[in-house]
Chain A
Amino acid sequence: MLVAPPSSPVLALLRERIARIERVHVRQAAARSVPLGIEAIDRVLPTGGIRLGALHEAASAGPDTEHAAAATLFIAGILARLEGPVLWVLRQADLFSPGLAAAGLQPNRVIFAEAGKNILPVMEEGLRHAGLAAVVAEHTGRLSLVASRRLQLAAEQSGILAILIRRSPSFDDPALHEPTAAVTRWRIAAIPSPPALAHAPDTPGLGRACWQVDLTRCRGGEPGSWVVEACDATGRLGLVPDVFNRSVKAA
């Protein structure tokens, strides 16, 4: 069997053709992205971070799927490091702005829209408007491939970051695992945090929360799973000390 060396023109041609099919040329043109700040994660992502002008999905894991608190904080942390106004499309108003501000997303940057059943049309409307930095929508239930592709195309055209927070009243909802046109899909699960003071574990108090961040789908990249410390006041994730990380991996 003939194996072409990596520099073979045939291979280059094939790669180019695949790229055209996957609309990579559009993506490369607008390949600006926000790095997550954790080197291990950014290395896996094709553009070195959360790509702008693309649709991303985030959900919480387990019983938190309903309220998606961890996923919301994860997203708020990403938005905190962008500049410009953010449109947040809600179904019900259970979001608490002081909590968003604590993750670095200040209230003067967020416009809320209570869209009821029109979550996706309102999100698309927002994505077609060039003045925004990002549009976040909270979607409950199924998301069809066609609907998600509309959002992805709208985001590609305007270069706005589009984020869907997937919520569901039941955890392990199969609807959350169906394929969509989103570029990445994240699952954020809270995990037990180490004691507030490592040298005195019996001291009462709360340290920084810890998350297991799973990248379950990534177009043009490898899925992965990492343990990180939750967002700080500027929205940055933290590295977990090695000792703790190892023990979780072993478990």
Chain B
Amino acid sequence: MRRVVSVWFPTFSTDRLRRLEEERDATGTVQTSASPTSLPNLLNKRDRRGRAPCAGPGEGPGLPEIIVSGRLVTAVNAAAGSLGLRAGMKLAQAQSLVAGLAVHDADPAGDAAALRRLAEWCVRYAPLVADDPPDGLWIDVTGSTHLHGGEERLLHDLLRRLHAQGLAARVAVADTPAVAHAVARFGSGGAVPPNADGMEAAVMADFPIDALRLPSGMLADLRLMGFERVGLLAKAARAPLVRRFGPLLAARLDQAAGRLFEPIMPIVPPASIQARLAFVEPLLTAEAFSTVIGRLVDIVCDGLERDGLGARRLDLLFERVDGTLQAIRIATARPGRDARHLGRMLNERLEQVDPGLGVEAMRLIIAAADPVKLEQVSLVEPAIPDIAPLVDRLANRLGESRIYRIAPLESDVPERSVRQIPAMSPVTGGWPADLPRPVRLLDPPQQVEAMALLPDHPPIAFTWRRVRHRVRHADGPERIAGEWWKRDREWISVRDYFRVEDEDGRRFWLFRRGNGSDADTGDMRWFLHGFF
């Protein structure tokens, strides 16, 4: 199932300008950014004309700014937008509406270059990324979301990183580029549920016809004919419309309804190690793909060897005869260039590929690579077995967040004393050995009815899931105070933990909220928290 993310930057030009000025103020120089893992510095523009900053001293980011091309406003920032200024106005009209307006010259080439750098950066999320001028991006995340813990987390992470860079952005994900594009710009953003037949049409119907990505002249004509919403246009007789407006209108309507496949032409990150093999006859079978993968992997591994690098992320693109692209992506826990291991991981994901009528070329790209640390192998000590390949394969199958180690965290509250860390990172430290802890923990703790003498006796009996357990032996209390430095309402709260054994010999970990004498420390209710 195809899933496409559309990113929209409502104030791209002005955001970029703002960042440029901040950077210049901060360092006095323009930095260059070549690392594919960090957000590109959008200000890195070699071909920019010399331009006197129009912003006056002390002007903050909240002041209205507009960008003009000739005498026409082409972009406005959020502050200017809230004052009623719109792209498409005359400069004189804008200046008469708002006094003290900061006006900048448009720089379409700079914007396009910045957008392209942003697209290259987005390759971190998925192999197929395209820029969508003037102010958007496509990311085809099909089959790549598992590496980021799911679609929702991917969108969240993307938005967070863009906002941290001072870029206002709205994202949407849907089954087709057209719907994602429209929801990002005209809807509220977010995810359109997958696999909903007819859903596309329903989502699109309420949007204004601007959501169809038609030339402005055609939109004006359609408005003149009374078409305001996409739904109305979709229901109108198709033939007269096509005769009047040409095939583009029909194509856009079909793309919006999910009837017509819309390819996105991905950018290829520059200066990466890659290999491409084209075939005389289109390939269709998994066996053929495996053979090609073997050869491609050999080529890129030679390249990695030469540069002393190991692959962290690989993209395999399938160029189909119908002109569309399919992609699979794998990630490794540690930089590696073992051709057999990489080939095997790619082969495992082959089932996600739909070859359609055939694949005429395949391209393998090392999307991210890190230097390989070579280690001395000892002849005396037994070799430590390498489990990174296994971790890679499980992470590719289950998702990176599903395979982990547990590391100790400095906290007295039991449920906060553990944290998940990546499977290949070392665990240091441990938990205090003299505090008994259960092997299974109930999260959240379950309330039980217990009978106990106050203030500090263990319960005599407790009822959990309607079964009464008489306590034969008990140990406690172990008093655990709330962490007031983390949460205000734990200011004086206390839990008294008891280990108890019932008449069958089962051992439970119970606690009472409160210290047994002061009601402020807790409400005296009993909870079952774990089993020994």
Distance in Å: Cβ of A71 to nearest Cβ of chain B: 10
CB distance A102 to B390 under 8 Å? Answer: no
Q: A192-B503, A233-B433 are in contact. Are A76 and B439 (CB under 8 A)?
A: yes
**What 1/0 mask marks residues of chain A from 54 to 79 whose CB sits below 8 Å from any chain B CB?**
00000000111001111011001000
Which B residue sits closest to A192, measured CB to CB? Answer: B505
CB distance B398 to A69 under 8 Å? Answer: no
CB distance A111 to B398 under 8 Å? Answer: no
CB distance A209 to B501 under 8 Å? Answer: yes
Task: For chain B, residues 101 to 119, give those with C-beta under 8 angstroms from any C-beta of chain A.
Answer: none
In the assembly, what is the distance between CA of A100 and CA of B532, in Å? Answer: 10
Main secondary structure of the interface of B (DSSP, over half): mixed
Our pick among B389, B402, B474, B530 for the contact of A206 (Cβ within 8 Å) is B474
Q: A73-B439, A102-B433, A113-B403 are in contact. Are A196 and B389 (CB under 8 A)?
A: no
CB distance A125 to B506 under 8 Å? Answer: no
Q: A72-B440, A101-B431 are in contact. Are A63 and B390 (CB under 8 A)?
A: no
Main secondary structure of the interface of A (DSSP, over half): mixed
CB of B426 closer than 8 Å to a CB of A: yes
Cβ–Cβ < 8 Å partners of B385 in chain A? 84-85, 130-132
Task: For chain B, residues 489 to 522, give those with C-beta under 8 angstroms from any C-beta of chain A.
Answer: 499, 501, 503-507
Cβ–Cβ < 8 Å partners of A210 in chain B? 505
CB of A207 closer than 8 Å to a CB of B: yes
Distance in Å: Cβ of B372 to nearest Cβ of chain A: 19
CB distance B474 to A204 under 8 Å? Answer: yes
Which B residue sits closest to A114, measured CB to CB? Answer: B402
Cβ–Cβ < 8 Å partners of A70 in chain B? 506
In the assembly, what is the distance between CA of A185 and CA of B430, in Å? Answer: 32
**What 1/0 mask marks residues of chain B from 394 to 424 whose CB sits below 8 Å from any chain A CB?**
1001100011111110000010011000010
In the assembly, what is the distance between CA of A95 and CA of B415, in Å? Answer: 11
CB of A144 closer than 8 Å to a CB of B: no
CB distance B532 to A69 under 8 Å? Answer: yes
Which A residue sits closest to B458, measured CB to CB? Answer: A204
In the assembly, what is the distance between CA of A113 and CA of B405, in Å? Answer: 9
Residues of chain A at interface, number, CB under 8 A = 55
Q: A98-B437, A99-B530, A205-B475 are in contact. Are A190 and B505 (CB under 8 A)?
A: yes
CB distance B505 to A126 under 8 Å? Answer: no
CB distance B506 to A64 under 8 Å? Answer: yes
Q: A69-B532, A111-B404, A113-B394 are in contact. Are A99 and B473 (CB under 8 A)?
A: no
Which A residue sits closest to B427, measured CB to CB? Answer: A108
CB distance A112 to B403 under 8 Å? Answer: yes
In the assembly, what is the distance between CA of A204 and CA of B437, in Å? Answer: 19
In the assembly, what is the distance between CA of A144 and CA of B417, in Å? Answer: 38
Cβ–Cβ < 8 Å partners of B467 in chain A? 63
CB of B351 closer than 8 Å to a CB of A: no
Instruction: Find the residue from B389, B408, B503, B504 having the highest chain A CB count within 10 A.
Output: B504
In the assembly, what is the distance between CA of A100 and CA of B498, in Å? Answer: 19
CB distance A96 to B393 under 8 Å? Answer: no
In the assembly, what is the distance between CA of A126 and CA of B391, in Å? Answer: 9
Q: A64-B506, A96-B440, A206-B474 are in contact. Are A87 and B390 (CB under 8 A)?
A: yes
New A-B pairs, 19, CB < 8 Å, besides A63-B506, A96-B440: A64-B531, A72-B439, A96-B441, A98-B431, A99-B532, A107-B407, A108-B426, A111-B403, A113-B402, A114-B403, A189-B505, A192-B472, A193-B501, A195-B473, A204-B475, A205-B475, A206-B474, A206-B507, A209-B532
Residues of chain B whose beta carbon lies under 8 Å from any beta carbon of chain A: 385-387, 389-391, 393-394, 397-398, 402-408, 414, 417-418, 423, 426-428, 430-431, 433, 435-443, 458, 467, 472-475, 499, 501, 503-507, 530-532
Listed A/B pairs (16) with beta-carbon separation below 8 Å: A63-B504, A63-B506, A69-B506, A72-B440, A85-B385, A85-B387, A98-B418, A102-B437, A108-B405, A111-B391, A111-B404, A115-B402, A122-B398, A132-B385, A191-B505, A192-B501
The 3 A-B residue pairs with the shortest CB-CB distance in the complex, in nearest-first order: A131-B385, A99-B439, A69-B531
